[in-house]
Amino acid sequence: MANPTMGLTLLEGAPSFGVEAFDSQPLFPSAQWQMCHPFEGEAPVECANLPAVWSDVWITNHILMAIIGAALAILFWLIVSHKPKVVPSKRQWAGEYLYNMLRNGIAREIIGEGYQKFVPWLVALFSFIIINNLFGSFFLVMFPTFSVIGFAWGLALLSWLLYNIVGIRQHGFFKYVKHMIVPGDVPGPLLILIIPLEFLSNFIIRPITLGLRLFANLFAGHLLIMIFVVGGSWLLLSSEQIPIYNIAGGLSLAISFGLFALELLVAYLQAYIFTVLTAQYVASAKAETH
């Protein structure tokens, strides 16, 4: 169980500022959670040994954000594909442009033959990631879902399952494992070193780095903006009225606007990179040579 003194109960109407934004808050806090997360004072000692209530773990603000992100992705594609015309409207054109980028620029170019069956997953993956990333710049949320590492590794696990299942169906289990860990044209003595490295790289490191890359960029960006905004506000409104503090605070807030613009770029790039790497892993699993 997480540190019982961290976070504030939603039922008490306490806002979550600063680093507390990274804490998942239950939408319907149990009596136990409220007892262990008091608005003031310290939590009871027995909270350290109390098991977590499932609703406090699985029905949280961040999970709600992920559900909303999935719903928005579905809604977007339903809207842009509704009543298509030969001469596309701006709405239809936007959907076709994005779809063609994912279908032709990623799936067909990277996966090659048989790419069509993977297009729905890549489109859904990119759409879900970018919407949840953009939550970090949306004023009602101001928090990217993938700043919580569990969501990033959850998607990485799905991609890991996808490319391994594809490889096993393509080659058979034992041939696929050999295909992934034994490169061609490698001298026999070097295989002692190469095989463990290839196994770690293809089966262990890939999903870890895939999720970690997405999480780290969103987490770092949100944390950096938080530092500039919160720190700048404190300096600007400092009761000590020291001019250099006020100047530094105003400059810090001005820089934060530039960081918000940078976050928009990062939101797109990380969604694109995650999708491209997933396609690349599928392609390597399908390939006949390693």
pTM to 2 decimal places = 0.85
Domain ranges in the chain are 1-59, 60-286
Residues 51-104 have pLDDT tens digits of 878 888 888 889 999 999 999 999 999 999 988 888 888 899 999 999 999 999
Closest CA to 144 of 232, 253, 220, 231: 220
Residue 21: its pLDDT value, please? 66
In this model, does residue 146 exceed pLDDT 90? yes
From the CA atom positions of the chain, what is the Rg in Å? 24
Task: Evaluate if residue 118 carries a pLDDT over 80.
Answer: yes
Confidence (pLDDT) at 230 = 84
Whose CA is closest to 23, among 44, 39, 11, 9? 9
Please say if the pLDDT value at position 239 is more than 90. Answer: no
The confidence band for 7, taking pLDDT boundaries of 50, 70 and 90, is very low
Return d(Cα 16, Cα 137) in angstroms, integer: 17
What SS3 state is found at 26?
strand
Query: Are 31 and 24 in contact, with CB atoms under 8 Å apart?
Result: no
The span from the CA of 4 to the CA of 43, in Å, is: 6
Angle at CA of residue 270, ends 264 and 274, nearest 5°: 155
How much is the pLDDT for 107? 95
When the pLDDT of each residue in the chain is averaged and rounded to a whole number, the result is 85
pLDDT tens readout for residues 10-39: 333 333 445 566 778 888 888 888 888 777
Three-class SS state of 243 = helix
- Of 112-116, 138-142, 216-220, the range with the lowest mean pLDDT is 138-142
Say if residue 207's pLDDT is above 80. Answer: yes
pLDDT at 283 > cutoff 60: yes
